[in-house]
Structure 1
């Protein structure tokens, strides 16, 4: 049943807190990428930059027809380091009517962790059990929790430059996970012999040497959202089946891939497939236990809209949020 114009459900953070489990986020995001793999429209971020005061306004768009949802994600950042706000309008994909307006900040770590888990599930070996995690911030936390859903982890080795941060992170997750979580003194110590490597940093220089990767390793890079951001070196990109969230994004702001192209290590033809194509079975993912794979995630509206639709359905079932009225354009223009 298409949603009719008029009532819009506003879902603030207090309505969204605890509304869905990490497993439900992963399932919704996987379905979103499956749709993308069979042709659902999505565009990478558009960012407009302001010089004084310095800051940027960013937006994303996606349509997921089978889920019945379309929408975007918009936020401002910078501007004197004031806090950011994320807004997420959700529309019905059949009628075009707006059905919800979500506080986007609340879902950000969950949907981003979920897309990382979908990438691991699509590309890592099924028996992968050792994880190297580079980074110990909020993004690293979300990635570790979500990855533990899709793989049975035995050992996690975490590295970040500040000793106190990585040790506190390891101590916390040793209590939360069945896996042994240990802080290590270098990225090399974490990466060597790892089955899965996840980078969750703001780095502008590679955070490990690609020659250290063992055959069969999967790498997920979460900090690739600007042409100058570079977590992975050209060696890693060259050795791997390179899978971005969106092909067009890889050619516009995926720093590691763009800089590897500049160095002559790869060309545009070395983009193996989009994640959605692998999830949908349109392109095989890992073809051998020896393959090195990379999932390059810079953020799209695919995971955002998929997660928002899942949350909206749960909120309707539980009658959460507040109803607001948005006038259709015909009424707004005529004053009727």
Structure 2
């Protein structure tokens, strides 16, 4: 008869103390390399509710070399008008539960790490000037992670609320070696930038693609809904377009889907998945003049990779609460 398995429950506060933002990048890179070698992953499934308004979202990945698999599930909106993230993590060999993670504090860090991996694979090696559109938690995660893969000298931030962008600049000036400045328009941020990061909830494009100079890299991480399009058709048409998961592109990559509707691109214009670039199955940047886009809408690849790193660290540190899980074979005992 099978015995109970033991999993580790980790709170958001415990997770926040286990790893710095830069320490998420290497595990997430390895996760996407595994995907490039064929590791299974599926894009998100989202269920929407009207009364009260909200959504329930989940996605899955198996990372055999990392030794873990899992699903990331979160509820957002509803009467609480907030979001809650959970990550069940399983052993990739035995299938037994390893951990249950409260994903609040890890969420912007694992997402930021995915953006940094895409940036590192696609941006020019000499990129030093970064523009960020958005000033929330996700924007902070993206910028902090970007600074781990490029020697940033200047960061320009724009968001519609002056108080928010100025607070972001003040905080990031303390956190980074780069000079961080708030600017009064997205055009002022994007013009002359080597890297542009969009981290917004915008339903309409947040900058004009004609402003992008040759050689710019763009990471878009807020466009995981068909009705949201942070990037305009010009940007999509001009760019070498790389997605985190190809299956996402026609499901919820709003900017690319809109550009398809406009007839300027089709599915053949999806250059590659990030994992394919990382393992050399597809080229990334082929010229210093290329404009590149990484569509980082979110997958369980970065979540499972980050979760396993956190689990291993927690075991070493003796952090977390042991919780029992009964196997299904005992259900009728």
- Which category describes the TM-score, using the shorter chain as reference length? over 0.9
- Displacement of 1:106: 2.2
TM-score (norm 1): 0.96
Task: Provide the rounded CA distance (Å) in 1 between the counterparts of 2:235 and 2:81.
Answer: 36
Task: Provide the rounded CA distance (Å) in 1 between the counterparts of 2:153 and 2:64.
Answer: 39
Corresponding residue SS for 2:157? strand
Say whether the 8 Å CA contact 1:5–1:97 is kept in structure 2.
Answer: no
Query: Gapped runs of 5+ residues in structure 1?
Result: none
Alignment-derived partner of residue 73 in structure 1: 72
Query: For 1:118-144, what per-residue CA distance to the aligned partner results, in whole angstroms no more than 9, with x for missing partners?
Result: 111010000000111111111111111
Task: Provide the rounded CA distance (Å) in 1 between the counterparts of 2:257 and 2:18.
Answer: 38
Alignment-derived partner of residue 204 in structure 1: 203
Q: Does 1:185 align with 2:184?
A: yes
Alignment-derived partner of residue 309 in structure 2: 310
Task: Provide the rounded CA distance (Å) in 1 between the counterparts of 2:291 and 2:265.
Answer: 15
Query: For 1:76-124, what per-residue CA distance to the aligned partner results, in whole angstroms no more than 9, with x for missing partners?
Result: 1121244322111000111111111111122101101111111110100
Say whether the 8 Å CA contact 1:91–1:99 is kept in structure 2.
Answer: yes
Task: Provide the rounded CA distance (Å) in 1 between the counterparts of 2:39 and 2:215.
Answer: 31
Task: Provide the rounded CA distance (Å) in 1 between the counterparts of 2:5 and 2:40.
Answer: 26
**Residues 319 and 294 (structure 1), Cα distance of their counterparts in 2 relative to 1, 3 Å cut:** same
- Displacement of 1:21: 1.8
Query: For 1:43-99, what per-residue CA distance to the aligned partner results, in whole angstroms no more than 9, with x for missing partners?
Result: 010011223222221111000001110000111112124432211100011111111
Task: Provide the rounded CA distance (Å) in 1 between the counterparts of 2:48 and 2:198.
Answer: 26
Task: Provide the rounded CA distance (Å) in 1 between the counterparts of 2:12 and 2:178.
Answer: 31
- Displacement of 1:172: 2.2
Alignment-derived partner of residue 126 in structure 2: 127
Corresponding residue SS for 1:57? strand
Corresponding residue SS for 1:105? coil
Task: Provide the rounded CA distance (Å) in 2 between the counterparts of 1:49 and 1:168.
Answer: 33
Alignment-derived partner of residue 157 in structure 1: 156
Task: Provide the rounded CA distance (Å) in 2 between the counterparts of 1:92 and 1:196.
Answer: 37
Task: Provide the rounded CA distance (Å) in 2 between the counterparts of 1:5 and 1:287.
Answer: 53
Corresponding residue SS for 2:23? helix
Task: Provide the rounded CA distance (Å) in 1 between the counterparts of 2:62 and 2:136.
Answer: 31
Runs of 4+ in 1 over 4 A off after TM superposition: none
**Residues 73 and 163 (structure 1), Cα distance of their counterparts in 2 relative to 1, 3 Å cut:** same
Choose 54-63 or 164-173, whichever is displaced more: 164-173
Alignment-derived partner of residue 291 in structure 2: 292
Task: Provide the rounded CA distance (Å) in 1 between the counterparts of 2:171 and 2:317.
Answer: 33
Alignment-derived partner of residue 281 in structure 1: 280
Task: Provide the rounded CA distance (Å) in 1 between the counterparts of 2:85 and 2:250.
Answer: 25
Task: Provide the rounded CA distance (Å) in 1 between the counterparts of 2:30 and 2:226.
Answer: 29
Say whether the 8 Å CA contact 1:75–1:84 is kept in structure 2.
Answer: yes
Query: For 1:227-260, what per-residue CA distance to the aligned partner results, in whole angstroms no more than 9, with x for missing partners?
Result: 0111100110010000011011111001000001
Alignment-derived partner of residue 27 in structure 1: 26
- Displacement of 1:169: 1.5
Alignment-derived partner of residue 108 in structure 1: 107
Q: Does 1:54 align with 2:37?
A: no
Q: Does 1:7 align with 2:6?
A: yes
